[in-house]
Amino acid sequence: MFDSAHIAEAIAWRHDLHRHPELGFQETRTSKLIAGLLEGWGWRVHCGLAETGVVARLGEGSRSIGLRADIDALPIEEATGLDYASAHPGKMHACGHDGHTAMLLLAARQIAAEGVAGGSVMLIFQPAEENDGGARVMIEDGLFREFPCDAVFGIHNWPGLTPGRLVACDAEMMAAFAVFEIIIEGRGGHAAMPEQSDGVVAAAARMAAALQELPARRLSPLVPGVLSVTQIHTGSAWNVCPDRAVLRGTARWFLPQAGDEIEARLSEVVHGVAAAHGCRASVDYQRRYPATINSAAEAALVRRVGETMGLDTSETEPSMASEDFAFMLNEKPGAYIWLGAAREGDNPGLHSPHFDFNDAVLPTGAEFWVRLVRQVLA
């Protein structure tokens, strides 16, 4: 479908984006590159949704399809040693968003060359997928009001699947998630006289263990849920019992009632353990992303299109990781798609400082986008 020169150019875009990563809502250079290429191919381009988002339209008609790529990087120090490694310390494309962007750009060039009949195509280049909810902000800024879509689709490279795999489950793909911060306070004092202090450290340790066991004891074994304490900060000296400890972590779930149960029981555990150790505790619990749930009809369409390319579209288990494409699927029918992208030999996972997008799957994803557009608007 693509000649070798176009594929090589798309890989060059990807490497350029990798070398110049930008964090959420700061993707000004990235957006400028995207907009310039799209305008050159004849797309009608709109910039500024969610500050640095880019949306492009081609075609006319009552039917419309939205294709989304995320464009932001992560606050990670790169350790790949690549000749196109990040030129910006502490910032890195460690999740493959550079590849997703180049993939959609390669498809956009082909769609423009072929022309669009039977409806319109909306390309959504979304900022701030990592933690900041750029999809939600784009929607609040009028994404689907200004650029109506009958259905919306997103692809993410998946290093846990071999190239040639394309997965779109009929329902759950990615979990909902929340973050929490717990502050424990009590009397501090000399470590040699613990009876004159409250058990802040003991409470933190007991609390961390109890919280991570909570889903297993409060949810049915058939209902997924994960609670992870990822940080404990307390103490500053060998011989001082501290008067304050901070715990932070995340919770993950699919079913709304599971999310409600985790939140309610977390609060009970925190306050109960704190009281048992003579301490006070406060909880800041923030729900961030809803679960990413595909609509069955669109997931089936994705699999049919993948099969025309000879891809293996057999389903696999959903992930307890999270994705803000969920906000778009809460508004429109659609599907979130995993594209197999494992490398031979060393195959670092997503968010690793050693991760690099597998360029070999870039034309596969781009071809899938082109075929999906043809199928929906045919």
Interatomic CA distance for residues 347 and 163, integer angstroms: 12
pLDDT digits (tens, 9 = 90+) for 263-286: 999 999 999 999 999 999 999 999
Task: Output b/e per residue, 294-327; b: 16+ Cβ within 10 A.
Answer: bbeebbebbbebbeeeebebeeeebbbebbbbbb
- Its pTM surpasses 0.85: yes
Q: Inform me whether the pLDDT recorded for 68 exceeds 90.
A: yes
What share of the chain has pLDDT > 90, as a percent?
98
pLDDT confidence band for 131 (50 / 70 / 90): confident
pLDDT at 62: 87
pLDDT digits (tens, 9 = 90+) for 243-265: 999 999 999 999 999 999 999 99
Q: Which two tokens stand for residue 44?
A: 């009608």
Read off the pLDDT of each residue in 320-340 and give the average, rounded to a whole number. 98
SS (HEC) of 260-291: HHHHHHHHHHHHHHHHHCCCEEEEEEEEEECC
The mean pLDDT value of the chain amounts to 97
Q: Cα dist. 360→21, 32, 71, 106, 226 in Å?
A: 21, 26, 19, 14, 34
Look at residues 31, 69, 63 and name the one whose alpha carbon lies nearest to residue 157.
69
What share of the chain has pLDDT > 70, as a percent?
100
Pairing relation of β-strands 64-70 and 151-158?
parallel
Q: Inform me whether the pLDDT recorded for 120 exceeds 90.
A: yes
Please answer whether residues 127 and 42 qualify as being in contact, where contact means their C-beta atoms are separated by less than 8 angstroms. Answer: no
Read off the pLDDT of each residue in 184-195 and give the average, rounded to a whole number. 96
Interatomic CA distance for residues 54 and 30, integer angstroms: 10
Q: Which two tokens stand for residue 214?
A: 């909570």
pLDDT confidence band for 154 (50 / 70 / 90): very high
Please answer whether residues 372 and 303 qualify as being in contact, where contact means their C-beta atoms are separated by less than 8 angstroms. Answer: no
Look at residues 300, 306, 297 and name the one whose alpha carbon lies nearest to residue 372.
306
- Sketch out the chain's domains with CATH numbers: 4-174+291-377 (3.40.630.10), 176-289 (3.30.70.360)
Read off the pLDDT of each residue in 36-44 and give the average, rounded to a whole number. 98
N- to C-terminal Cα separation, the chain: 18
Read off the pLDDT of each residue in 76-99 and give the average, rounded to a whole number. 98
pLDDT at 317: 94
pLDDT digits (tens, 9 = 90+) for 2-12: 999 999 999 99
Q: Which residues pair with 119 in a beta bridge?
A: none
Q: Write phi, then psi, for 299 (nearest 5 degrees).
A: -65, -40
Q: Which two tokens stand for residue 56?
A: 């492009």
Q: Inform me whether the pLDDT recorded for 1 exceeds 90.
A: no
